[in-house]
Structure 1
Amino acid sequence: MSPLLEWLVENEPSFRKTRLPSLYSDLTVQKSTNPEGYAANVTAWASALTRASLAGQLPLEQRLILQASDDLLNALASAQYGRPSGLGSVLDDCVRQGKMVELHDFLASEKSIYTRSWIPSPWAVLRWSLRQVGIVGTGSYEVNGHLKKGSLVLVPALEEVWKHVQRLRDRSAQGLTDRIMSRETFLKELNDLIRGTLSDQDVTVLLRYLSRDKHTLSYDDATIKFKAPASTTPEPITHEDRSIANLKSLISNLTLQIANLNTRIATLQSTAQTSVKNGNKASALSALRSKKLAEQSLASRTGTLHQLEQVYAKLEAAADQVEIVAAMQASAGALKTLNHKVGGVERVEDVLDTLREEMGKTDEVSGVIAEPLDNTAVLDEGEVDEELESMEREERSKREALERAEKERRDAQEAEATRRRLADLEGIETEARSKEQAADPVEQGLSRSIEKMQKLHLDGRQQPQVAEGAS
C-alpha cells in the first residue's frame, strides 16, 4: 500500500479498507450498472483528494490545486487493487459539479465560480451526453486508463481555507491601518493558522477567490487590504496603502531582528563567562567583542524601530482623521439635503400656521357635532342626584351586611377557640390526676402506713378516757 493510500485509510472516513475494492473498481462501468454506488464513490474520491491536498500529501505539495497526471495514479496505486480505474471520470464529474475548476479558467474568469446559469450551453449538453455513452472528447481527464495532465482548483479546499481567513480578518480592528498588511505578512499569518505552507500558485488562486468570489479584500503584488466592515465591496489599493503595508512590514522585521539580537547577546555573554571559567582568554575576548558589536547593532535597530513606530502612530492618527472628516462631510451633506427638503424657517412657519388653522377648524366641527340634536331637552339635575343617592344607599347596605356577616364569623371563631382551650385544660387536669394515681407503689405504701400509725395513735389516746368513764 502506497504512503498516500495508507494516509487516506487512516485519516479519511470514506476510505475504510472494506470500501477499497469498490473505490478501485472500474468506475466507468459502475457508472451505468450502479449509478448510486458510482455517485457515492465520486463523493468519496472528491473528499479524499481535497483532504489529502490540504494536508500536503499529494505528489506536488500544493494545498489548493490538484495536479492531474499519471503521477497521481501511481501515488494512489495499491499492491492488491492496482491503480484506481476511472479516476478521470471522477475528475470530469467534479468539474461538471463545480467542485473542481480548471486553473486557467479559474484565473481568467471575471464571474464568480458560484454564478451558474440555469441554461447550459449547447456544447456543454453535447459533451455531457457523449460522456454518458462513453464517447469522451479531448476535454475529458479519462484517457484510456490514464489521466490527462492538468491543474484543477479544489473549491472545497478554498472554502476550508476561507474559514481561517475569516478569523484572520476578524482579528484586525476596524481602522484603516489595521486592515492593511503586506502580502508576506498575510501569507505568514495564514500559514500559521492552517499549519501548513501555501505555494505561490496557491496564494495567487486564494487571493483571486477572496477578491472575486468572497469580496473580502483587494490586493496587488505586495499589499493586502481587507474591506471596511460597513462596506459591501473592497476598496482599491492606493499609494498610501502600499506605504502603510511597507511600514508595518519593516516594523515587524525589525522587531524580529531585535529579538534575535537579544538572544545572541545572551548567548555570547554565557560563552564569555564559560571561557573565563575554563581559562580560555582568547575565546572569552572573541565572545565579548562579538557581544559589543551585537549590542551596537541592537541599539541602532532599537532606535530605528522607535522612529518607525512614531511614524506609524502618526499615520494611524492621520488615517483616523481622514475617516472622521469623511464621516462629518457625509453628515453635513445629509443635513444640507434634509434642510433643503424642509425649505427653511419661513416655510416651517407657514406650515405651522396652516396646521393651527386646520386644527381650529377641526375643534369647531367637533363642538358642533357634540351639541344635542333637540335643543328643547333640559337635563334634570335633581333626578340625577336622587339616583346617585339611591345607589350610594344600596352600596352602604351591602357593605354593612358584609361587615355584620364578617363580625358573626369572627365571633363564632373566637367561641370555638375558647371551647377548644377549655377542653385542653380539662384534658391536662385529667392527665395530672391519672399521673397521681399511678405514682410509685412504695410511696403509696408509706402514705398508708403513716395514716395507720396516726390512727392508732389517736385510738390509744381515746381508750383511757373510755376506761375512766367505766369506772
Structure 2
Amino acid sequence: MSTSTPSTPSSSSLRILSIPPFNQASTTRLQALYSDFTRQKHSNPVSFQANVEWWKNALETVVTYGLQDSNESAGSRVILHANSTLQERVKIPKVGKPLALGTVLTELHSLRSFIPITEFMNLKASIYATSSLPVRLVSYVVGKPLWWALEHAGVVGDEGIFGSSTSERNKSTAWHGDYVLIPSLETVADAIMEAQRDSETTTADALYTWPCFSRTFAHVLDDSFDQIDKQDLKVLLKYLERDRGLVVYDKDVIKFVESDADVEERSITAVDRGVLELKNVVESLAQQLESLQNKIDRCTREASISMKQGRKSIALNHLRLRKQLHELLDKRLNSHATLESTLLTVEAAMEDREIMESYQSSTATLKAILAHPSLQRENIEKTMEALAEANTDAHEVDEAIKVGGDIALGVDANISDAEVEEELEALVQEMAAVKVNDSRSEAEQRLLDLRVPEHTPQTTEAGWKSSKIPVLARQ
C-alpha cells in the first residue's frame, strides 16, 4: 500500500532551512516574508524595506551556496537565475513559495544591488559612476511627489488606469531573468585580487589565457570548482576591467594591471602575447614531464609484478617501454630547461626596461629640480654669504648682550682669568692650612681629655672639673 507524502520536505528545502538567514527566522516570520507584502511599501515602508533587505541577504546566500541549481557543485556564484524554478527551490513546507519575489527584485534593481545581466554587460560607464546622480536626484525630488499625488488620485498605482497592479506583476513572468548580484561580485573580485597579489612575482604572472584564468581562480568562487562558470567569467572580467580598472582583456589574453596604470600599460602588446605564449609552452612541458614520470613509475611497477609472476617477456617489454620513456623524458627536460631559461631572460629584460624607464623619469625630475633659480651657483654663493654675515651679526649681538649683562651686575670686564685663578689657588691653600691647624688642636684636646689626674686625698673643685671622671659622673 503506497502512501503519498506531500508534506515531506524536499532535499533543497532541508538545505535551505539549514543556512542563514532562513535558519534564523521563525515560522511566523517566514510566513510573513513569503507572503505578498507589496502593499506595505506605502502602508508600512519600514517593514517593507526590512523584508527587502532580508530577501537580498537570502538570495545572495542561495547563489553563494549553489542552491539555485540542482547540482550544488556547479553553476553560477554571482548571477541569480530568477524564474519559477527558483521559487520552487526556495519553497518551504508549511510556508509555501515567495509571492513577492518580483517586487523584491524590482526594488533591488532600483537600488542597484541586483542588475539584469544584459544591462550590466552593456553599461558604458562604471556602476559606481556618479554622473547620473543629479538626474536621479531631480527625478526623485520632482517625480516622487507627483507620483504620490497621482496614486492618491487613483490615476496610477496598484489600482490606477496605467497597467496592472504590482501583485499581478508578481504573478507574471516580467521579473524572470538573470541578475548580477553586485555585493557577491564585489566579494569575489576582492578575493581574486588578493590571490593574484599573493602569487604575482614576475611580469608573466600577470598574463593569463581565458582557460588558465578560469582554472587558476576557480577555488575563489567555490573550493569544489575546477573552473569558473562561463557566464560568471564574463561578468567578472567586465567588472574588473570597467568598474575596478584592474584588468584588460581581449578574446585571447587577460592581463592584470595597476589601477593607476597609464594608457600604454592598459593595452595588450605583441610582447605580452609572446611572453604568454612562452609561459604556456613552459607550463605545458611541465605537465608533460609529470605525465612521463608517472608512466615510468607505472612501467616499473608492472615490470616488478610481472617478474614476481614469472612472466619474463612481459617484464622485459615494460622495461623497454620504460627506457624509451626515459629518453623522451630527458629530451623534454632539456627543452623545458631551455624554454624556462628563455622565459626568465625575457622577464628580466622587461623588468630592466621598466627600471630604465624609472631611471629616465627620475633623471628628468632631478634635472627639473636643479633647474630651479634658487639652486643656481650665483644664488647659492649669495645665499651662503648672506648666511655668514647674518651669523657674524648674531655673534656680535650675543657678545654685546653678554658684556652689557656683566656691567649691569658690576663685574669688571678687564679682570683677567689668570688673576682670578691665582686668587683661587691662594684661597685653597689658606683653607688647607686652617684645616691642618684645626686637626692639630683637636688632637691635642683629645690627649688632654684622656689624661688621668694623680690620686691625692684632697682634690680641689677646679681639679675635678679638669679631669674626665667628674664629667662621666655628670653624664
User: TM-score normalized by structure 2?
Assistant: 0.69
Please name the residue that 1:84 is paired with: 98
Deviation digits for residues 403-455 of structure 1 (CA, Å, limit 9, x no counterpart) = xxxxxxxxxxxxxxxxxxxxxxxxxxxxxxxxxxxxxxxxxxxxxxxxxxxxx
Counterpart of 1:169 in structure 2: which amino acid? Q
Matching residue's letter, 2:235: V
Q: Give distance in 2, aligned partners of 1:219 and 1:149.
A: 31
8 Å contact 2:82–2:178 — kept in the other structure? yes
Aligned residue number for residue 349 of structure 1:
378
Q: Matched residues in 2 for 1:383 and 1:360: separation? A: 27
What corresponds to 2:45 in structure 1?
35
C-alpha RMSD over aligned residues: 4.1
1:222 aligns with 2:230: no
The runs of at least 4 consecutive aligned structure 1 residues that moved more than 6 Å come to: 122-125, 135-138, 368-372
Change (3 A) 1:69 1:333: same
Paired position in structure 2 for 1:400: none
Q: For the structure 1 residues 383 and 353, does the alpha-carbon distance in structure 2 shift closer, same or farther, using more than 3 Å as the test?
A: closer
User: 2:14 — aligned with what?
Assistant: 6
1:62 aligns to 2:76 (yes or no): yes
Gaps of 5+ in 1: 397-471
Partner of residue 338, structure 2 = 307
Residues 441-460 of structure 1 mapped to structure 2, 5 A cutoff: none
Q: Could you say which residue in structure 2 is the equivalent of 1:133?
A: 157
Residue type at the aligned position of 2:116: E
Partner residue of 2:288? 257
Q: Distance in 2 between matches of 1:54 and 1:370?
A: 82
Helix, strand or coil: the match of 1:151?
Answer: strand
SS class of match (1:224): strand
Q: CA–CA distance in 2 between the matches of 1:200 and 1:97?
A: 26
1:143 aligns with 2:151: no
Q: Percent identity?
A: 26
Alpha carbons 1:9, 1:17 under 8 Å: kept: no
Instruction: Evaluate the alpha carbon distance shift between residue 107 and residue 381 of structure 1 in structure 2; reply closer, same or farther with a 3 A threshold.
Output: same
- Is the 8 Å Cα contact of residues 14 and 44 (structure 1) preserved in structure 2? no
What CA distance in whole angstroms lies between the structure 1 residues aligned with 2:234 and 2:66?
17
Deviation at 1:265, TM superposition (A): 1.8
Aligned residues: 388
**Which residue of structure 1 aligns with residue 354 of structure 2?**
323
Could you tell me whether the CA contact under 8 Å between 2:21 and 2:57 is conserved in 1?
no
What is the DSSP-based 3-state SS (H/G/I as helix, E as strand, rest coil) of the residue aligned with 2:104?
A: helix
| Unmatched tracts of structure 2, length 5 or more | 1-8, 429-475
Structure whose CA Rg is larger: 1
User: Of the candidates 108, 117, 123, which is equivalent to residue 94 of structure 1?
Assistant: 108
Q: Deviation per CA, 1:386-412, whole angstroms, max 9, x where unpaired?
A: xx99xx9xxx9xxxxxxxxxxxxxxxx
SS in 1 for 2:76: coil
Structure-2 change in CA distance of 1:143 and 1:3 (3 Å): farther
1:272 deviates by: 2.2
Residue pairs, 1:267-282, within 5 angstroms: 267-281=298-312
Counterparts in 2 of 1:358 and 1:293: CA distance versus 1, 3 Å: closer
Distance 1:371 1:72 in 2: 95
- How has the CA–CA distance of structure 1 residues 141 and 174 changed in structure 2, closer, same or farther, with 3 Å as cutoff? farther
Q: Distance in 1 between matches of 2:14 and 2:172?
A: 22
* Aligned: 1:154 with 2:181: yes
**Partner SS state of residue 27, structure 1:** coil
Q: Distance in 2 between matches of 1:383 and 1:281?
A: 120
CA contact under 8 A between 2:102 and 2:170: conserved in structure 1? no
Q: Which secondary structure does the structure 2 equivalent of 1:62 belong to?
A: coil
Distance across 1 between alignment mates of 2:38 and 2:12: 23
Q: Distance in 1 between matches of 2:327 and 2:125?
A: 55
Contact 2:246 2:259 in 1 (8 A): no
Larger helix percent: 1
Q: Distance in 2 between matches of 1:89 and 1:106?
A: 20
Moved more, 81-90 or 301-310: 301-310
The answer for the alignment partner of 1:107 in structure 2 is 121
Amino acid of the structure 2 residue aligned with 1:4 = S
Distance 1:104 1:158 in 2: 16
